[in-house]
């Protein structure tokens, strides 16, 4: 195999592949990328078996063939290459030679047939979607997904189609975020769970400039295509909890308040706590909400904000981080907290717009 | 047999009256070769020797020879010494309550002589000739003049030759040799000023330096490397005092072999004190682990009875509680932050020498000034006061220390590398996270008498064994105080409705099972008191993500800052260190710049 390529073009592709390459080094081959040189193009592939990426670009191919090479090493060499032109060639023995100007590197690759094959998909199924909507939906849910690897079925975002609506739900067992939007969407017979890592890759993709994005779902995968790049995300094989059951009904104690007031107040009050995520007490009475937190070492923090509340006095504890994360993504000036009692799930949502719902379980402080 | 009286020296040994003899704890003195070594060396120590050599062959079974340069004996004494209850150390009953010597029973030599063949040669300093006494199976066979050096040599051969049953119970040569080495080690630590040597089958096994102090003696017997990991300890009120060295928790064993406890310089075994020590270490050492501690308890002889056991390895304190408290609190205080290894160098710069001195010696000072307070109250007050003074300065320096620590990178996704003023620090990120989680839980618990908990939106099911089920049913209250909410769901299934807040986002079922198993195996009702630390450590351990993890810059800094809130001795709840310093000097030495 032998080809010549522009440094900057190559670098961009390698950088994207880097993000996918398995970092835990469970299988040595997964630290590598597969480069295939064919008909005036090279194709770069990386996978961690959960997310796979395939990219391509033009190159001057002198001799077709393929190699696998350590992704990080190659990226670092190319980044530091002295000239704009890079020349890569490989011999049958697995020795790879990288040349740029006077610089020359020898690297030994791993056998190409050890590299996992790229998941199959049908190009015709790909369906163009609105990237902004997708990005927004991800941002408003993914933070609530579980990071506990033992609970794989909630380690991602649940996606389902409901008539003309598309719905995404994420939970970590303590809180749940749900968003619903009407949007064009590819065929999806039943709900699927997208893994966190895949979602974050997808988000990066959505953020990287203009360009149409197409999606498709197979039984096991979600396929995303943008320009020449294809990302395949393996779906989580599991049952997502029955989220509809945990969305409370009849929470009659409604507190209306300014989103910014609550957010900044929580930030200040929870500052005192030893670390983020500590409980903050919500003392609610007519027209006002008193937030307080205490830290055995530092003392107590207390703050009051004016709210719209007409019901009985009560107090309830919440994890400040859980509240702040949701308040950070809701785009509305006014929000509502709907409570039942100090042990039942609460709802946080925009006071005006429908379509987004955040359910959070109180804390006993 | 005939022999003349010494002209220059008076005899010192008397046979004690029957009435006194019966008060002495009777029983087997010689259990194994090591007991012979112990008795002979103690005699040499009582004879004010400054140099003691011990030779053994075949684990002491064939031969034990102890050579000292002590005061020696007259010929009369050398003979009388083999009589039962013949001693120069105890004359009247009152002496029994103020024992200042290792021996006091007049039992050792006759006991050894009755089970072996003994040759004792001895000469009093200044005499021209010495004496030799040969005893076999308890019967004196020969007494004659002998040319020898000042001091006494006792040679015991063929131990248990006449008691085949005992011979059968002897263990392997290696085991017996080990016991002898332990015996010498214990004695050598207690008497650093005496030079000890042990020769096994002709080759030196242990050699200690001459006129050492305790520090050097510790280096002699454990190796020089230990010195950098030990902290001096000193506390007491004049009536009851302790001193010694305790090791950083990194040096831990799963047995009590690292515990060297002495009462009035006598090595003893005492479960109560063992417990006091582990209690002092409880925040920095996992359960079932024992540190290295060399601890000397000095107590007025009338407040302790050593005449408890024939081997003199056990004592009875008049007030065991005050000893327990003193030991436990003193250790805890010493392990408190000011003495943490990585902080040491920093402190030296920040705190004045005066403050440091004051902090360490406070106990003595405060008690010497007050007119001999009652033991119990005295210790309490003194220690608390000193701890407080210490903590204030420490809190200030610790906070500053961690704030000034600059994180320069992450290694293997497991360690944080930090820098500050000519020192290089490595933080184990897992241990650090665990430690700060533990502190958080503890703070929480002390504030509210329970751990704050997060209610679950998706309650989790847990299947329990029959035993676990019983355990959980009988300890619901405690479980709730720990921040859990677990309800029966029929059969062996339970529903977890709430978990300690710190475990948010983590599957707690494994932890719940662990806690219950703990309970089942200890067959105790689940009470938090007394075991709080262990339980909270377990929870803390589960709360932390295991394994390698890349931390963002903010996460790194936050973790380091969080350590400043921690009241710790450089160790995570499992007894693993959290932070280690490498000085510029050490690094420069590595590169031969120094
Ligand atoms: N190495 C020695 N140097 C000088 N005197 C000794 C030596 N060994 C023994 N003696 C004398 O012999 C006496 C008897 O010794 P022995 O060990 O039998 O009894 P003890 O030391 O008085 O009491 P214990 O039975 O508790 O050891 C001692 O009191 C001491 O006076
Ligand atoms: Mg003796």
Q: What is the ipTM of this complex?
A: 0.79
Pocket of ligand 1 (CB under 6 A): B 12-13, 39, 43-44, 46-47, 68, 70-73, 81, 86-89, 103-109, 152
Instruction: State residue A298's pLDDT score.
Output: 57
Contact B263, B304 (CB under 8 A): yes
- Each as own residue / partner, the long-range contacts of residues B547-556 (CB below 8 Å, 24 or more positions apart, any chain) are B547/B430, B548/A24, B548/B412, B548/B413, B548/B414, B549/B413, B549/B429, B550/A23, B550/B410, B550/B413, B551/B410, B551/B416, B551/B429, B553/B407, B556/B407, B556/B410, B556/B416
Instruction: Give the phi and the psi of residue B105 in degrees, each rounded to 5.
Output: -100, -20
Beta bridge pairs of residue A359: A176, A347
User: The domain at A248-360 falls in which architecture?
Assistant: Roll (3.10)
Strands ordered across the beta sheet of A95-100:
A60-63, A2-6, A85-90, A95-100, A103-108
Residue of B nearest to A177 (CA): B457
- Say yes or no: B449 contacts chain A, CB-CB below 8 A: no
Query: Residues near A183 by Cβ (< 8 Å), separated by ≥ 6?
Result: A129, A130, A133, A134, A165, A166
Residues of B in contact with A24 (CB under 8 A): 548
Q: What are the Cα distances from residue B488, in Å, to A54, A209, B356, B499?
A: 51, 54, 56, 15
Distance in angstroms (rounded) separating the CA atoms of residues B549 and B410: 10
- Say yes or no: B505 contacts chain A, CB-CB below 8 A: yes
Choose the residue to mutate in B12, B45, B46 for probing ligand 1, maximizing ligand atoms within 8 Å of C-beta: B46
Distance in angstroms (rounded) separating the CA atoms of residues A47 and A50: 7
- Say yes or no: B573 contacts chain A, CB-CB below 8 A: no
Which residue, B239, B237, B232, is CA-closest to B333? B232
Class of domain A123-244: alpha beta
Tell me whether residues A360 and B457 touch, CB distance under 8 A: yes
The sign of the dihedral angle between the CA atoms of A167, A171, A176, A177 is: negative
Tell me whether residues A295 and B458 touch, CB distance under 8 A: no
Which residue, A153, A268, A231, is CA-closest to B458? A153
Q: What are the Cα distances from residue A173, in Å, to A4, A144, B345?
A: 52, 9, 46
The dihedral region occupied by A124, where left means phi > 0, alpha psi between -120 and 50, and beta the remainder, is alpha
Q: What is the CATH number of domain A2-114?
A: 3.10.150.10
pTM (two decimals): 0.55
**pLDDT tens for each residue of A57-112:** 999 999 999 999 999 899 999 998 888 999 999 987 778 999 998 889 998 888 88
Contact B399, B388 (CB under 8 A): no
Per residue, what are the HEC states of B28-66? CCCCCHHHHHHHHHHHHHHCCCCEEEEEEEHHHCCEEEE
Distance in angstroms (rounded) separating the CA atoms of residues A227 and A53: 13
Q: How far is A77 from chain B (nearest CA, A)?
A: 21
Q: Which ligand is nearest to the CA of B112?
A: 1
- Say yes or no: B412 contacts chain A, CB-CB below 8 A: no
Q: How many CB pairs under 8 A join A and B?
A: 79
Q: Kindly give the distance from the C-alpha atom of residue B44 to the centroid of ligand 1, in angstroms, as a whole number.
A: 8
Distance in angstroms (rounded) separating the CA atoms of residues B401 and B350: 10
Query: Residues near A59 by Cβ (< 8 Å), separated by ≥ 6?
Result: A3, A4, A5, A37, A40, A41, A42
Residues of B in contact with A339 (CB under 8 A): none
- Each as own residue / partner, the long-range contacts of residues A117-123 (CB below 8 Å, 24 or more positions apart, any chain) are A118/A45, A118/A47, A118/A52, A118/A54, A118/A232, A119/A52, A119/A218, A119/A220, A119/A221, A119/A223, A119/A232, A119/A234, A120/A218, A121/A216, A121/A218, A121/A221, A121/A223, A121/A230, A121/A232, A122/A216, A122/A218
Domain with CATH 3.10.150.10 in chain A: 2-114, 123-244, 248-360
Q: Kindly give the distance from the C-alpha atom of residue B11 to the centroid of ligand 1, in angstroms, as a whole number.
A: 13
Distance in angstroms (rounded) separating the CA atoms of residues A115 and A23: 16
Tens digits of pLDDT across chain B (594 residues): 444 444 445 788 988 888 888 887 767 788 899 999 999 999 999 999 999 999 999 999 999 999 999 999 999 999 999 999 999 998 787 787 788 899 999 999 999 999 999 999 999 988 889 999 999 999 999 999 988 889 999 999 999 998 887 787 778 888 899 899 999 999 999 999 999 999 998 888 888 888 778 988 988 888 777 777 788 898 888 889 999 999 988 778 878 888 999 999 999 999 889 999 998 998 888 777 889 999 999 998 888 988 888 888 889 998 888 899 899 989 988 887 544 444 443 333 333 222 222 222 222 222 222 222 222 222 233 333 333 333 334 444 566 677 778 889 889 888 999 988 778 889 988 888 888 888 777 777 776 677 788 899 988 888 888 878 888 887 787 788 888 899 888 888 899 999 888 777 677 888 888 888 776 655 454 555 556 677 788 888 887 767 777 777 777 887 887 787 676 554 445 667 788 888 888 888 889 887
Tell me whether residues A277 and B501 touch, CB distance under 8 A: yes
Confidence of residue A355 (pLDDT cuts 50, 70, 90): very high
Q: Kindly give the distance from the C-alpha atom of residue B305 to the centroid of ligand 1, in angstroms, as a whole number.
A: 20
Instruction: State residue B529's pLDDT score.
Output: 56
Query: Residues near B582 by Cβ (< 8 Å), separated by ≥ 6?
Result: B423, B424, B425, B426
């Amino acid at each position: 195999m032998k080809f010549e390529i522009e440094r900057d073009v190559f670098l961009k592709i390698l950088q994207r592949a880097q993000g996918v390459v398995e970092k835990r080094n469970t299988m040595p081959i997964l630290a590598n990328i597969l480069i295939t040189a064919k008909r005036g193009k090279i194709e770069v592939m990386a996978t961690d078996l959960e997310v796979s990426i395939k990219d391509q670009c033009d190159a001057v191919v002198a001799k077709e063939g393929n190699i696998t090479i350590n992704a990080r090493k190659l990226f670092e060499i190319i980044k530091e290459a002295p000239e704009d032109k890079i020349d890569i060639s490989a011999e049958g023995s697995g020795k790879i030679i990288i040349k740029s100007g006077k610089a020359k590197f020898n690297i030994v690759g791993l056998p190409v047939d050890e590299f996992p094959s790229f998941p199959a998909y049908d190009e015709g199924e790909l369906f163009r979607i609105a990237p902004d909507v997708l990005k927004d939906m991800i941002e408003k849910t993914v933070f609530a997904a579980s990071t506990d690897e033992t609970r794989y079925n909630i380690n991602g975002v649940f996606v389902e189609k409901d008539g003309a609506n598309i719905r995404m739900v994420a939970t970590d067992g303590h809180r749940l975020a749900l968003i619903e939007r009407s949007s064009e969407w590819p065929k999806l017979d039943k709900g699927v769970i997208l893994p966190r890592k895949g979602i974050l890759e997808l988000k990066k993709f959505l953020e990287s400039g203009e360009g149409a994005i197409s999606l498709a779902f197979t039984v096991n995968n979600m396929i995303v295509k943008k320009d020449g790049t294809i990302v395949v995300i393996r779906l989580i094989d599991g049952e997502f909890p029955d989220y509809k059951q945990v969305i409370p009904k009849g929470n009659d104690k409604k507190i209306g308040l300014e989103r910014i007031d609550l957010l900044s107040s929580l930030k200040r009050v929870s500052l005192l706590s030893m670390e983020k995520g500590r409980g903050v007490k919500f003392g609610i009475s007519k027209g006002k909400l008193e937030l307080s937190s205490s830290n055995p070492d530092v003392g107590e923090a207390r703050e009051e904000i004016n709210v719209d509340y007409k019901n009985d006095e009560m107090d309830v504890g919440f994890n400040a981080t859980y509240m702040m994360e949701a308040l950070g993504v809701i785009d509305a000036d006014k929000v509502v907290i709907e409570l039942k009692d100090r042990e039942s799930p609460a709802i946080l949502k925009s006071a005006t717009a429908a379509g987004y719902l955040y359910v959070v379980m109180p804390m006993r402080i | 047999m005939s022999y003349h009286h010494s002209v220059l020296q008076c005899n010192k040994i008397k046979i004690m009256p029957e009435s006194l003899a019966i008060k002495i704890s009777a029983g087997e003195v010689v259990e194994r070769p090591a007991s012979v070594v112990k008795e002979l060396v103690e005699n040499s120590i009582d004879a004010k020797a400054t140099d003691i050599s011990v030779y053994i062959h075949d684990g002491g079974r064939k031969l034990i020879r102890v050579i000292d340069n002590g005061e020696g004996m007259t010929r009369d004494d050398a003979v009388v010494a083999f009589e039962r209850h013949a001693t120069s150390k105890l004359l009247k009953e009152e002496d029994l309550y103020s024992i200042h010597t290792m021996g006091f029973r007049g039992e050792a030599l006759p006991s050894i002589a009755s089970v072996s063949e003994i040759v004792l040669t001895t000469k009093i300093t200044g005499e021209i000739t010495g004496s030799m006494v040969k005893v076999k199976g308890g019967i004196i066979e020969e007494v004659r003049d002998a040319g020898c050096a000042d001091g006494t040599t006792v040679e015991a051969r063929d131990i248990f030759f006449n008691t085949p049953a005992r011979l059968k119970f002897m263990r392997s040569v290696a085991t017996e040799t080990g016991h002898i080495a332990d015996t010498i080690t214990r004695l050598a630590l207690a008497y650093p000023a005496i030079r000890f040597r042990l020769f096994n089958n002709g080759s030196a096994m242990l050699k200690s330096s001459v006129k050492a102090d305790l520090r050097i003696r510790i280096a002699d017997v454990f190796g020089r490397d230990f010195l950098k990991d030990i902290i001096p300890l000193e506390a007491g009120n004049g009536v009851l005092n302790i001193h010694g060295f305790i090791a950083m928790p990194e040096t831990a064993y799963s047995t009590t072999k690292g515990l060297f406890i002495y009462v009035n310089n006598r090595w003893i075994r005492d479960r109560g004190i063992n417990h006091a020590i582990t209690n002092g270490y409880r925040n920095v050492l996992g359960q079932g682990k024992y540190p290295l501690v060399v601890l000397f308890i000095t107590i007025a002889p009338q407040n302790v009875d050593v005449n408890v056991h024939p081997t003199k390895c056990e004592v009875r304190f008049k007030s065991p509680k005050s000893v327990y408290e003193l030991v436990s609190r003193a250790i805890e205080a010493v392990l408190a932050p000011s003495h943490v290894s990585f902080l040491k160098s920093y402190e030296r710069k920040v705190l004045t020498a005066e403050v440091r001195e004051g902090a360490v010696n406070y106990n003595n000072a405060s008690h010497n000034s007050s007119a001999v307070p009652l033991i119990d109250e005295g210790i309490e007050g003194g220690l608390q006061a000193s701890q407080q003074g210490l903590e204030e300065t420490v809190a200030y320096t610790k906070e500053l220390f961690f704030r000034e620590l600059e994180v320069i990178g992450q290694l293997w996704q497991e360690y944080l590398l930090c820098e500050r003023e000519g020192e290089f620090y490595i933080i184990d990120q897992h241990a650090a996270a665990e430690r700060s989680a533990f502190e958080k839980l503890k703070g929480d618990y002390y504030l509210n008498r329970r751990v704050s908990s997060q209610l679950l939106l998706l309650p989790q099911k847990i299947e329990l064994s029959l035993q676990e089920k019983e355990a959980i049913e009988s300890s619901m209250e405690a479980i709730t105080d720990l921040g859990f909410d677990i309800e029966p769901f029929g059969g062996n299934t339970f529903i977890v409705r709430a978990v300690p807040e710190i475990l948010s986002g983590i599957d707690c079922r494994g932890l719940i099972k662990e806690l219950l198993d703990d309970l089942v195996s200890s067959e105790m009702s689940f009470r938090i008191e007394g075991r709080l630390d262990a339980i909270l450590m377990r929870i803390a351990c589960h709360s932390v993500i295991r394994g390698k993890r890349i931390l963002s810059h903010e996460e790194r800094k936050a973790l380091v800052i969080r350590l400043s809130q921690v009241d710790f001795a450089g160790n995570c709840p499992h007894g693993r260190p959290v932070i280690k310093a490498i000085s510029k000097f050490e690094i420069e030495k590595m590169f031969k710049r120094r």
